[in-house]
Homo-oligomer: A and B are copies of this chain.
């Protein structure tokens, strides 16, 4: 009886820890990205971005290499940005912000995943660590989709966020070319549209201080 009571209060406690985790990550809805909604009504936040990219993974499952675990891709994408609750967003073309990004995000992961009971805290952290490392085919596919989404947004809003942040073709190419290793046909599709945007004059080939097109 004592034992059962202990067991059921432990279970209730674990449920409360899981709900506390969900409550903590609700703050991701207040984290603003440098990307416009397709409606251009406002900037996108990291929570709705996470939904969009997870749904994109479900939609593009057929484009993954054999051996990619598409459900693990979805789990990665649901969890991939929650460290931003503490660490904030680092714009992908902000080289200075990237200097301490890893350190800030590791501390955030320690705190936020640490809200969960074990072994779930370790399981979720392992999902996030695998995504961050970009070594497995599964993580590389997830990362490719995460890169694709802002490209789709920019290509369908006349490059608005690119223009506002003076991003050049050379920068876009060097940050996104990794899409190719995970899915060549996705890269072919999006790269030809980025080149068209240069031709159409939305984005400069290279920024004044940035790398030359030939060197990326």
Q: Which residue of B lies closest to A27 (CB)?
A: B39
Q: Is the CB of A152 within 8 A of B19?
A: yes
Q: How many copies does the complex hold?
A: 2
Choose, from A56-64, A86-94, A97-105, A159-167, the stretch at the interface.
A56-64
**How far apart are A48's CB and chain B's nearest CB, in angstroms?**
4
Q: Chain B residue with minimal CB distance to A45?
A: B48
15 intermolecular pairs with C-beta atoms under 8 Å apart: A12-B189, A18-B60, A19-B189, A21-B59, A23-B38, A23-B156, A26-B38, A27-B38, A29-B39, A47-B52, A50-B51, A54-B54, A58-B79, A71-B71, A71-B74
List the interface of chain A (C-beta within 8 A of B): 11-12, 15-16, 18-19, 21-23, 25-30, 37-39, 41, 44-45, 47-48, 50-52, 54-56, 58-60, 62-63, 71, 74-75, 78-79, 116, 120, 152, 156, 185-186, 189
